[in-house]
Amino acid sequence: MTKTLDESLSFFKDTISDCIKSRKSISVTTHIDCDGLTSGSIITKALMRAGAKCTVRTSKEFSKKVIDSLKKDSRDFHIITDLAGGFANNLDESLGENWIVLDHHQISEKEQENQRVINAWKYGIDGGIEICAGGMAYLAAMALDDKNIDLSAIAVVSALGDRQDQGERKSFVGKNFEIANTAKEEGLVNIDLDLLLVGRETRPISDSLAFTSQPFIEGLTWNRDSCLSLLNSSGIQLKEGGRWRVPAELNDDEKRIVIETITKFTSGKNATEIMSELIGYTYTFPREDKRSFLRDGREFSTMLNSCGRISRSGVGIAVCMGDRNKILREAETILTDYRKMIREYMNILTNERWRISESKTCVMVNGEGIVPEMMTGTISSLIAGSPKNAGKIIILRTGGEENTIKFSSRKSFGCKSEINLSELMRTGAEKFDGVGGGHNAAAGAKITKDKLDGFLDYLEVNVVNMPSTGNSQ
């Protein structure tokens, strides 16, 4: 019988307390994205505070090969965060009772019965929008000791990184809302309604607008000269004493002028959608330095994603654990390189139109030879953020290691399709001896290259040619 969340958290506390008392070593294995790095850091920090002997490492995916490496590992107990959905039986067979999973991805009912799987869906919590792995790790950390309440700030970053700000005006709902409010009450985060521009604390206002790609604004996104010209024409003071001002320094009147200026520029069928995406709740960490990329929650989350996506996960984890010295400069360089890479990939995909095929319900993108495997989620999310793709499902594919093909799917803004992408990807991948899963609105799959034609036919039947009545165009 499935336990309640409180019972599962109590089980977690008792199990980990026993490990610590008996001096068992603990390994934490987590995913490479923002949610993975934050959840792994939260639980590792809580373990260290409790006096545990522990290590943390990352993995870009979970497989039987990863389980084999855990079995051979010298550590006595294994905590897995933001990974391992669908692998409970394999973990039981290989590790016995020496493991626990903290996760939020959709899992089968059978897997929900396993007490070592502490997954949001087991407790009636929507892991797609109400809590992520970082939130689950925070709840587990609080079960160990309520002094870990300060880790609520990192849990806010994890929810932003997993794009769970799905409430009205980019607010949080469910457990995320509770965790964010806790962080606010502790003085760890300020929550305000503001312009949602990239680099609110760090970039000149014109650059901030240019590099805001969600939503994608034709003529402005990635066009610094156009943004500078547009903002200059608005009359806003862009410099102060020779220094470029950043969006966080704009007063209310100036923000209103920016909104009016962009609205006039985008006047057309997508203007309303664009503005609804550009105004929302911001999450500012007042204890971080002004003009630091850690001060804005979304920029913090982007930095963590960049670390994981270009194989520098250790830097992201160090920052989450509190390192603010040399490692911070390293993280800033990684973030700059990551954004440059994204622009290059998007430019190629935009120019090579043969890579993109569209139907009324779906946009299929062939990123083979261009988009690295670890960047598929980032690029598919950006494509989904373009107003011209509103209402559609985005499916991007690219080449992976060992002769595989990686797929990443997203529901774009305004997509009303009843297709559950997690089920679509999991079921399809299993038909072709691959692995897949995720969330209703964001999921992935991996198959071997020889099964590509069959998998594409499966997508053709189940997505591309589906009637468009469920979508808002």
Supply the CATH number for residue 367's domain. Answer: 3.10.310.40
Give the closest residue to 338 by CA, choosing from 377, 366, 364, 369.
377
Domain end point (choices 348, 369, 388): 348
Do residues 328 and 227 share a domain? Answer: yes
The pLDDT of residue 471 is 40
User: What CATH code is carried by the domain that includes residue 94?
Assistant: 3.90.1640.30
Higher pLDDT, 37 or 278: 37
Give residue-wise pLDDT tens across range 390-409.
899 999 999 998 899 999 99
Do residues 344 and 359 share a domain? Answer: no
Does the pLDDT value for residue 269 go beyond 60?
A: no
Q: Average per-residue pLDDT in the chain? A: 93
Q: Is the four-CA dihedral 381, 383, 384, 387 of positive or negative sign?
A: positive
Do residues 15 and 163 share a domain? Answer: yes
Do residues 259 and 145 share a domain? Answer: no
Instruction: Supply angle C-alpha 158, 163, 168, rounded to 5.
Output: 115
Under a CB-based contact definition with an 8 Å cutoff, are residues 197 and 212 in contact? Answer: yes
The pLDDT of residue 467 is 64
The pLDDT of residue 402 is 87
Domain end point (choices 158, 189, 220): 189
Tell me the residue range of the domain where 363 lies.
352-470
- CA distances to 240, 280, 340, 367 from 253, rounded to whole Å, are 17, 17, 32, 43
The pLDDT of residue 2 is 64
What whole-number percentage of the chain has pLDDT above 70? 97
Q: Averaged over 186-190, what is the pLDDT?
A: 98
Give residue-wise pLDDT tens across range 318-355.
999 999 888 999 998 998 899 899 989 999 998 999 99
Helix axes 224-234, 252-265, angle to 10 degrees: 120
Q: How far is CA 468 from the centre of its chain?
A: 28
Do residues 54 and 71 share a domain? Answer: yes
Give residue-wise pLDDT tens across range 211-246.
887 777 889 988 999 999 999 999 999 999 899 999
Do residues 184 and 215 share a domain? Answer: no
Strand partners, 366: 397
Tokens encoding 137: 């790790």
pLDDT band at 468, cuts 50/70/90? low
Concatenating the DSSP letter of every residue in 268-286 gives STTHHHHHHHHEEEEEE-T
- CA distances to 212, 215, 410, 458 from 386, rounded to whole Å, are 11, 6, 12, 26
Do residues 319 and 405 share a domain? Answer: no
Do residues 337 and 360 share a domain? Answer: no
Q: What is the DSSP letter of 296?
A: B
Do residues 179 and 227 share a domain? Answer: no
Taking the C-alpha atoms of residue 377 and residue 395, their distance in angstroms, rounded to an integer, is: 10
The pLDDT of residue 188 is 98
Do residues 106 and 146 share a domain? Answer: yes
pLDDT band at 470, cuts 50/70/90? very low
The pLDDT of residue 25 is 97
Q: Is the four-CA dihedral 185, 135, 177, 318 of positive or negative sign?
A: positive
- CA distances to 145, 311, 471 from 305, rounded to whole Å, are 28, 10, 30
The pLDDT of residue 473 is 34
The pLDDT of residue 216 is 77
Domain end point (choices 348, 379, 410): 348
Does the pLDDT value for residue 469 go beyond 50?
A: no
Taking the C-alpha atoms of residue 4 and residue 118, their distance in angstroms, rounded to an integer, is: 10
The pLDDT of residue 472 is 38
What is the residue whose two structure tokens read 């373009």?
386
Give residue-wise pLDDT tens across range 93-149.
999 999 999 999 989 888 999 999 999 999 999 999 999 999 999 999 999 999 999
Taking the C-alpha atoms of residue 199 and residue 211, their distance in angstroms, rounded to an integer, is: 8
Do residues 306 and 339 share a domain? Answer: yes
Do residues 344 and 356 share a domain? Answer: no
pLDDT band at 281, cuts 50/70/90? very high
Q: Give the total number of structural domains in the chain.
A: 3
Under a CB-based contact definition with an 8 Å cutoff, are residues 200 and 296 in contact? Answer: yes
Q: Averaged over 305-322, what is the pLDDT?
A: 94
Give residue-wise pLDDT tens across range 284-298.
999 999 989 999 999
